[in-house]
Amino acid sequence: MLNDGRLPSPFQIYGVHTATTLIPILGHILVEYKNLPLAGIYAPYLIVPLLLAVKAATTPILFPKSEKKKKVH
């Protein structure tokens, strides 16, 4: 699994877990404190993992193998 350039499950699990953890945190910050700057600081920790999970779910090969040629001495 590690050599074929595809690791969708761990990325999806991480992305969804992080996003579902941050949704209540951001909701609490916005509702209780009405603090937009603080929510803005936390927003990338929601957006980036969600994008990672979506990319892992929609891309067949996340890390294509490089086509480096071996040097011949």
- CA dihedral sign of residues 40, 46, 48, 50: negative
What confidence score (pLDDT) does residue 6 get?
A: 59
| Helix axes of 8-28 and 44-58: crossing angle, nearest 10 degrees | 150
The stretches in the chain having pLDDT less than 50 are 1-3
What confidence score (pLDDT) does residue 46 get?
A: 94
Domain locations in the chain as residue ranges: 8-58
The verdict on pTM exceeding 0.75 is no
